[in-house]
A and B are shown apart, each in its own frame.
Chain A
Amino acid sequence: MEIRRGVWQVRADDALMKELDGWRSQGRLLQFTFDRGLASAYGADLIGPGSYRLNTLLNLIRRQGVLSQAHIPHHFFYEPNIRRKVVTSSSSGERAYVLTSSSLYGQYLQLELLAEARGLQKKESLHTVTVNLSSGEILKFPLPAHLIQGGGVDPALVVKRKCSLKNAYLSAAAHVAGAIAEQGQEWAQEALESMAAETEKLNAFFQGRSDSAEYEAKLQELQRRMQPVLAIDAVRGAVIYAPLFRYRLVVVDAQARERTKTVTYDPIANLHELDQ
């Protein structure tokens, strides 16, 4: 609640205070303000760039949400349209009708990745990549956020994934590395040029002693400091269950011969998949 203009008060319990300020802290009333003047006048915690309280809050929040799950309900998609699409997608001269249908879920892994490009300076960037765990492919577009709802689904309705989590992570990381490479490599070029100049100086200094342990150590020091590296790590992830519509069809060809086939339609990828 706002206890005076520009100053808000909340009660933080013991557990929250311990997370914020360390294990010796106890629950108390916390007062916040966004104004430096009010912070010093009333002793309220300042929330602003670099402020202690903002950083403790950010750190606490960033420790949460390591792995979450969400789903996109089937009802967001108009099933009769999908059914029509599936039925009419047979090759020419064939007719198909639906024998049975079921609504299932496919698994997508959404990963948030932190990329650190370390050359002479360090540049960080965050990337969200979604991997289809059925095909192992990277989704070219993000899943529509407004359709996603928190929580899991009935495990019996989930189609088994074909791609391991590790492979999904590796391909997501490779995708990010590719995206960064496309943005340009000046940062690495610059670091390599500086490193070459420094190595030259080092070689001149250790002339005739370049097989010494000291030279080796100094060279390693130089590399640690200047060697351009792109480090990618996962920050958090979420499994998103997206709807799949599976139909068992009876297909009748021009000679009136009947056969059955199972088609799974993925409305997110807009793909039909023939299961058998």
Chain B
Amino acid sequence: MLQFVPCFTGPTHKQESPTVLQEDSAGLYKVEIRGTGFKRILSHWRAKRWDGWSWYQLAKRADSLATAQNRSAGLLAVEHLQERWAQTGVVPYEHQIRTAERVIHEMQGQAILADEVGLGKTIEAGLILKEYILRGLAKKVLILTPASLVWQWYHELYEKFGITAGIQRTQWDWQFADILIASIDTAKREPHASIVSSLIYDLVIVDEAHKLKNSSTASYRFVNSIQKKYCLMLTATPVQNDLKELYNLIGLIKPGQLGSYQSFKARFMEDKRTPKNPTELRKLLDQVMIRNRRDEGQVRFTARIVHPLVISLDPKEQDIYNRVTEFVKAQGRRTGLSNMLPLITLQREVCSSFLATALTLEKMMGNMQGPELEQAAALLKNLAEVKQNSKCDALERLVSQIDDKAIIFTEYKASQEYIRYRLEKAGYRTLAFDGSLSRGKKQWVRHMFQREAQFLVSTESGGEGLNFQFCNQVINYDLPWNPMRLEQRIGRVHRLGQTRDVHIYNLITKGTVEEHIMYLLHQKINMFESIIGELDAILLHLNLGKSFESELMKIFLEHERSDRIKESLDQIAEQILQGRAEIEASSWEGLL
């Protein structure tokens, strides 16, 4: 009978380097005789702590098994992640696995991952990271991303690869977290930059690496100063306007790969936009850069079919909508644009449900006084009096026509509860899905939705990576103002593994701000049918990621007339289309 001996070896936060007892040179290589394991044995000896012989033999067998697993010629990560991927519905593309294998086996962990938008560079980087961790080659890892992508990286690594990374908040985190995600803009500033430069990293991943195209910038110099063993640069646009950008980027990974700048210019540049000897240059690039393209046919998605459903509010509802909008505008004018978040919320909620609006208004009233408070109280009373809900009536009509499972997305918990109340009352089985559920409960809700319920009413658009490909109907009860969130909602069902076309129903209330949002997203930038991931890339390219909602709110506050609002939205759309064109123009046909 084996007697179990508890060890309670928790995670360590210290960066441990192995003690080397003796270092020799055996011909071509160094021999390190390490003392870490031996010291452990010695401490047991001194403490007369003898483990059972059966445990010893069993542990030896486990060592053999673990070592045998590590000897696999392919990617260990693929085997290790199969279970997790089956749960979360991740199906890695062949090109992603191939890329990871090439980076590890041929490029010695030094590569630019330059796939076109939507082909999953993050997945490739995650796979490489996981592989290095499993092989014991990477322990100290730094991931540098734009601030807006920090959380996205955190979630992706956890959900798809089971890697729990830290998010940098204080200057102590650099040293103590083994795997750290940080905003590159924070990292390059002092005191952080000096701390980072003093550490030795096994792997550094830089997302949106095209921001390092200029070698005279602080970001470039900072990344260049980091001491690293392996380095991955992620960008869809390794070169945009000038071949020197590509040269600089490669200089970060492998200085000298393209020779000195003078020789590079002489050998490979006709002018700054025209490469000379492209075949030879491509050969050199192939050693450090991998670019997968959409037209190579690795990725096939089913179609997205968009159904805009315009709903007219009844006069009472329209009146209360107008009064809330007026209230928001008055507040906006009074407090200025600095404190916009509660106003954005209120303006968005009034398009979703009056119940949600009332709850937010009630909260806001805590900070009000005088005539402002009286106005809010009157508004609250009116909101409570409205019994009609045209949008929910329209939803009921819509669901009666859908003979299939559907996910209904709303931004607000109050709306979620109201929708469920109405649908349950109408005899439908519904389930609620939101961010407060634990991972296990989310899994259970997903399971119940697949087996039992017809409708899932969700307030969470993305993040948890759960697989809902068995459903192909998405109803946007209200529209998030941030197109990235909208993309995440649709991405829940429209992902690899979806075999049917995806129907997207957008409920838009006429004469409200939703109409304008729909105008921008659907009519102007054709967001619903764009390539997956493209909009993210464009907004990041334009530095519009997080500020997009504020930009919209500014427009709605500044302009009264509908035609002026449209004009301003046209300008934003123009900017986005231009960004898209810039990204497409940077394909450098024949070279990349």
Which residues of A are at the interface with B, using a C-beta cutoff of 8 A?
Answer: 15-16, 18-19, 23, 39-40, 46, 49-52, 55, 58, 61-70, 111-112, 114, 116-117, 119-126, 128, 148-152, 165-166, 169-170, 173-174, 177, 181, 185, 188-189, 191-192, 194, 198, 200-207, 214, 217-218, 220-221, 224-238
Any chain A CB within 8 A of the CB of B402?
no
Which residues of B are at the interface with A, using a C-beta cutoff of 8 A?
Answer: 4-10, 18, 21-22, 24, 26-38, 40-42, 44-45, 49-60, 62-67, 69-71, 76, 79-84, 86, 105, 108-110, 135-137, 162, 200, 224-225, 227-230, 251, 254-257, 259-260, 263
B259 touches A237 (CB 8 A): no
User: Which of B5, B21, B38, B71 neighbours the largest number of chain A CB atoms within 10 Å of its CB?
Assistant: B38
CB-CB under 8 A from A116, the residues of chain B are 136
Q: Distance (Å) between the CB of A151 and the closest chain B CB?
A: 7
A230 touches B55 (CB 8 A): no
User: Which of B34, B44, B64, B110 neighbours the largest number of chain A CB atoms within 10 Å of its CB?
Assistant: B34
Of B30, B50, B229, the contact of A228 (CB 8 Å cutoff) = B30
B80 touches A204 (CB 8 A): no
B71 touches A124 (CB 8 A): yes
CB-CB under 8 A from B69, the residues of chain A are 49-50
CB-CB under 8 A from B21, the residues of chain A are 166, 169-170
CB-CB under 8 A from B162, the residues of chain A are 52
Give the complex CA separation of A46 and B57 in angstroms. 24
Q: Looking at chain B's contact residues, is the secondary structure mostly helix, strand, loop, or mixed?
A: mixed
A62 touches B62 (CB 8 A): yes
Give the complex CA separation of A39 and B84 in angstroms. 12
Of B41, B80, B82, the contact of A55 (CB 8 Å cutoff) = B80
A198 touches B228 (CB 8 A): no
A126 touches B45 (CB 8 A): no
CB-CB under 8 A from A224, the residues of chain B are 200, 229
Give the complex CA separation of A232 and B37 in angstroms. 10
B230 touches A225 (CB 8 A): yes
Residue of A whose beta carbon sits closest to that of B257: A201
A19 touches B8 (CB 8 A): yes
CB-CB under 8 A from B65, the residues of chain A are 58
A230 touches B59 (CB 8 A): no
B259 touches A204 (CB 8 A): yes
Q: Distance (Å) between the CB of A205 and the closest chain B CB?
A: 3
CB-CB under 8 A from B29, the residues of chain A are 117, 119, 185, 188, 191, 227-230
CB-CB under 8 A from B5, the residues of chain A are 64
Q: Distance (Å) between the CB of B17 and the closest chain A CB?
A: 12
CB-CB under 8 A from B81, the residues of chain A are 50
B51 touches A67 (CB 8 A): yes
Of B4, B52, B105, the contact of A150 (CB 8 Å cutoff) = B52
CB-CB under 8 A from B26, the residues of chain A are 177, 181, 230
